[in-house]
A = this chain, B = another copy of it.
Amino acid sequence: MIVEIDPDAVAPPYEQLRAQIAALIRTGRLSVGDRLPSIRHLAHDLGLAAGTVARAYRELEAAGYLRGRAGQGTVVRDIPHLPESERTARLADAARAYAAAVRELGVDVDVALATARHHLTDPGD
């Protein structure tokens, strides 16, 4: 698994982990039926407590991404698609946050859009 946790980031570790796994499933790097590392194993690899990984798994299961069963492990269950309204609302929130940051920095709109395009097309940077 390609996951990175930054302890100094603003987002708490369990949230970073949740978002990254969700993105891996969305982008197809994890497919339906794939088995995820065990809670304890992943926690050890990432230097986290088991409870922290458990929380990320729990939220992903509640969202429909995963299915975890005792003794069997946790597997990718589905790629849930949110209702259109929910998705556009969340997208608007994210765009608003980006726009606010850009405005505070005094960055030109075209530069901001080019930067966004760059990060949207080149995830690894």
Closest Cβ–Cβ distance, residue A27 to chain B (whole Å): 6
Instruction: Return chain B residues, CB-CB under 8 Å to A32.
Output: none
Q: Is A90 an interface residue (CB 8 A)?
A: yes
Q: Is the CB of B116 within 8 A of A103?
A: no
Q: How large is the interface on A (under 10, 10 to 19, 20 to 34, 35 or more residues)?
A: 35 or more
Instruction: Return chain B residues, CB-CB under 8 Å to A94.
Output: 97-98, 101-102, 105
Q: Is the CB of B91 within 8 A of A115?
A: yes
Binds B, one of A35-43, A45-53, A69-77, A106-114: A106-114
Instruction: Return chain B residues, CB-CB under 8 Å to A101.
Output: 19, 90-91, 93-94
Q: Is A44 an interface residue (CB 8 A)?
A: no
Contacts A19-B104, A100-B23 given: A120-B115 contact, CB under 8 Å? no
Q: Is the CB of B106 within 8 A of A26?
A: yes
Q: Is A92 an interface residue (CB 8 A)?
A: yes
Closest Cβ–Cβ distance, residue A109 to chain B (whole Å): 5
Q: Mark A1-35, 1 if CB is under 8 A from B, else 0.
A: 00000000000000000010011001100000000
